[in-house]
Structures are given as structure tokens and as C-alpha cells.
Structure 1
Amino acid sequence: MLTDPLFYLCAIPAVLLYGIAKGGFGGNIAILSVPLMTLVMPPQQAAAILLPILCTMDLVALRTFRGRWSLPNLRIIVPAALVGTVLAWVGFRWMSEAHIQLMIGIIALVFTLNIWLRRGEPPTRGVSRWRGGFWGTIAGFTSFSIHAGGPPINVYLLPQKLDKTLLMGTIAVFFAVVNFAKIPFYIQLGLFDTSNLLTALVLLPLAPIGIRLGFWMLQRTNQELIYQLCYVFLFFTGCKLLYDGITNLLV
């Protein structure tokens, strides 16, 4: 088990941020968790420590949002994400973290800038098998290595203007399936060693605290503000990932 105090100084807020996002408040802040932990450890180890915690959070989130999700969307994006997960596993040894960061960063920035620079309200889009399949596959792929599937799936779901609880419930189910699907692949890649699993166990009690806090904040915030926060977090997340990707490529 990791005992470095500096690690926990980064890991505790990282887990709480993920829990708040799982609870439905500003979902894209979760993408900051792995970068925060990589200040003190390699990204693959950070992802391995977080995955068991995320799976526990997913179970709590499913109970919190039970029955409040968009089944037509899930029927499209979940199978697509599983395809993306398998593709990421196959390409794990060849696709660098920097390439994934650049890809997600560009997607997030282009999407949010397109929304903000348009005149008037962006058009509402409905359920789409083609768009859902594409963004679901991308989300499954980017979620595999650095748990960064939030921006791609938000690019697909946010334009639908779903009710805030329905939106967060759909995201909760989506990532529950994706995260549990990653477990056998992480085992095969040797990412679940004793140290990582014991460290995850120590951090585990923070999971329900973060989720309940996020759900409490969601219920006390109006829907328009939730969407605006999602766009803001998506933009700054894109900036952060773009910077990290370029920096890692130049190192």
C-alpha cells in the first residue's frame, strides 16, 4: 500500500472530485482526477488505483439515479463504448497517453467553442444511432487508459437538452457498464497488483461521500446552470488535456 503523504494530498481530492461528478454535479470535473494523481505517480498506476473506486461509485450512482435514464440513448452508446474499450485494449501498447490527451482536448475545445460562438441558442438534437455510435466508441476508447470518456459522451448527450437528472442518470449507467467492462482487461495487462488494490481499498470510503455531495448539489442547482457548468468544465478540461498532450509529446 502507498504511504507517501503527498500521494494522499493529491488522491483524496481526486476521488472526491470523481464522486461529485458521479453524483451529477458538473460531470466533466472528473477528468481532472487522473491528471491530479499523475503529479505523484505514473498515469497507468493512477488509473488502476481509481478503477475499483469508480466501480463502487457506479453502484452507488445507479442506486441514486435508479430508473432515471434514457434507454433509447443507452441502447446505442453502451454497445459502441464496449467496442471502443476493446479497441483501446488492443492498441494499449501502441497508443500513448499524449495522443489520447490531444484527441480528447481537441474534441472538447472544438465542441464548446462551437456552442459559445454561435448566435443564439444551439439547436437541440435528438437520439441518433450514427452520432451515438461514433461518440460512444470514442468515449469507450478514451475511458480505457485515463478514465477520460466524459467529454466525448457529453458531446453527444448535451445537445439533446435532456432533463438534468435524466442526463446524469444516463451518464451513470453508461460509465457503470464501461468501467466494469475494463476490469478483465486491466487484470490481463497486470495493472491490478497488491499495492494498487490495497491503496484503492484505503481510498474507497470517500466514494459514497463524494457521490452524495454531488447529488445534493445537483438537486439545489437549476438545470440551465448545470448545463452551463458542463460546458465550462468541458472547455477548461480540453485546455488542460491539450496542454498535457503537447507537453508530453515534446518531452
Structure 2
Amino acid sequence: MLHLTPEGWAIAAIAAFLIGLSKGGLAMVAVLSVPILSLVMSPVQAAGLLLPIYIASDVGGLLIYRRQVDLGVLRSALPGAVAGIGVGWATASLVPTWGVTLIVGVIGLVFALNALRRRGLPPVRTISPVRGNIWGSLAGYTSFVSHSGAPPWQVYAQPLRLPSLVFAGTTTWFFAVVNWIKLIPYAALGQLSPGNLTAAAILTPLALLAVWIGQRLVRIIPDLIFYKLITWGLLLVSLRLIWQALS
């Protein structure tokens, strides 16, 4: 059994809840899960604990968005994502814990600053296997390292201007496939330990509840206000992780 303080369990519960919300349609929220949980354990252990929760939540998300998916977008990005996962697996033993912490913090910080700086919508683009595989590979790598593949994925997918439900569904399908593939290297690297799996099983019902809540919130909370709050939260947590890594 994973030994966590009451504060640690509370933080783990928040991380699981955020994962569920993301699978309910609030895709950006999951970026916070590993940074938050990394405050009470190493990012590597946090990533291992959260992967089974991601996969269980994927099932709930796929049930909701089973028909809202653009297969052309998936085909243009998934080969690169698989390659990115492979690079993450091949280099896992070369990156120290503080390095992973720094990577997680910098990814979150850059994305948050860019989101706060941006005004309006990006220009409309069409599906491109070149762009899709470039950003897909970055999404696969960062997803492998810290489950934070949403920023590069959104750099590619948002300018496609898919209908909102199709965007949410395509994002859910993309990361469901990525997470299932990640099971193989995570198991090989010993990150799916009995302690992590037990903790994940305890937290999964909360994540599944959050999937349902997430798809309800999509309908009632203005996107601009919600994502401003999430972006500022990501900025603060990322700064804390960068300080922790450099200390």
C-alpha cells in the first residue's frame, strides 16, 4: 500500500478529480494533475500512480464521446505520438528526478504564459500529417514524462476549429490511445507497482464521478472564465515545481 499523509491523500484526490473533469470535456484541467501530485511525491511516482486513473477515466470519456471523433485528425497525429512515447521510454533512465520535475514545471509555465498572452483565436488551419506528427510526437513525449501532453496537442488541434463536441471527443480518443500504449513502457519501468495500483483503485471512483461532473460543467461555465482560473493555477504550481527542482 502506498504510504501517504492525510494531506497527500487529499492532494491525490484532487489530482484524480481533475483527470476525471478532463475526460468529461474540460481537457486542459488534467495538465494540473502531475504538478499538483508532485508536491507530495516524485513526478515519476506521480505519473505511475495516475496512469491507471487516466485509463479508467478514458473509458468514461469514450462512452460520452463515442461518436464525436474526427478520424482524420487522429490519423495525422497518432504515429508521431507513438514515436514520442518511444523516445520518452528510451531516455527515461537518463533524466534524473529533478530533471523531470523541471521539465514538468517548464512545460506548465510556458503553456500558462502563452495562454495568458494570447488574445482571440488562432488562424484556421487544415489537417496536416507533417504538423500533426510533429506536435503529436511532442504530445506523446510530454504525456509519457508527466501526463502533460495537452499543450502540444492543442497547438495542433485548436486551429483546426473542430465543433466543440468533436474537439472534445477527438481529444479524448487521442489520449485514450496514447495512455493505453503507455501501459507497456510504464509496466516495463516498474511504475505500475502494487502500491500505485492500489492507490489508483481507491481514487478511480472519484475520477469517474468527475467525468460526469465535467460533461455537465461544459454546459454551464463560460470557457473564458474557467480556463483563466485553471491557467493561473497552472502558472503558480509550475513556478513552485521549477523552484523545487532548482533548489
Counterpart code for 1:202: I
Change (3 A) 1:161 1:194: same
Percent same amino acid at aligned positions? Answer: 35
Counterpart code for 2:213: L
SS at match of 1:204: helix
After TM superposition, the score normalised by the length of structure 1 is 0.87
Question: What stretches of structure 2 of length at least 5 have no aligned partner?
Answer: none
2:118 maps to 1:115: yes
After TM superposition, the score normalised by the length of structure 2 is 0.88
SS at match of 1:213: helix
Change (3 A) 1:245 1:178: same
2:155 maps to 1:155: yes
Change (3 A) 1:236 1:157: farther
2:247 maps to 1:247: no
SS at match of 2:41: coil
Native 8 Å contact 2:35 2:238 kept in 1:
no
SS at match of 1:41: coil
1:87 Cα shift?
A: 0.5
Counterpart code for 1:239: L
1:145 Cα shift?
A: 1.8
Question: What stretches of structure 1 of length at least 5 have no aligned partner?
Answer: none
1:48 Cα shift?
A: 0.9
CA distance in 1, matches of 2:192, 2:46: 11
Change (3 A) 1:52 1:209: same
Choose 154-163 or 68-77, whichever is displaced more.
154-163
Partner residue, 1:10: 11
Native 8 Å contact 1:77 1:136 kept in 2:
yes
Change (3 A) 1:161 1:176: same
Alignment deviations for residues 147-191 of structure 1 (CA, whole Å, 9 cap, x no partner)? 110111011111222211111101100010111111110111111
Partner residue, 2:128: 128
The within-5 A match list for 1:27-106 is 27-95=27-95, 96-101=99-104, 104-105=107-108
Alignment deviations for residues 19-68 of structure 1 (CA, whole Å, 9 cap, x no partner)? 0111002x212111112212221111111111111101111111110110
Query: How many residues matched?
Result: 243
Native 8 Å contact 2:105 2:238 kept in 1:
yes
SS at match of 1:169: helix
2:186 maps to 1:186: yes
CA distance in 2, matches of 1:246, 1:40: 15
* CA RMSD between the two structures: 2.3
Counterpart code for 1:28: M
1:17 Cα shift?
A: 1.1
1:239 Cα shift?
A: 3.0
SS at match of 1:208: helix
Runs ≥4 in structure 1, deviation > 6 angstroms? none
Native 8 Å contact 1:124 1:159 kept in 2:
yes
SS at match of 1:2: coil
Counterpart code for 2:104: Q
Partner residue, 2:195: 195
Alignment deviations for residues 203-243 of structure 1 (CA, whole Å, 9 cap, x no partner)? 1211210100001112335xxx43x3686367436634752
1:98 Cα shift?
A: 3.9
CA distance in 1, matches of 2:81, 2:8: 31
Native 8 Å contact 1:76 1:129 kept in 2:
yes
Native 8 Å contact 2:35 2:105 kept in 1:
no
Native 8 Å contact 2:58 2:172 kept in 1:
yes
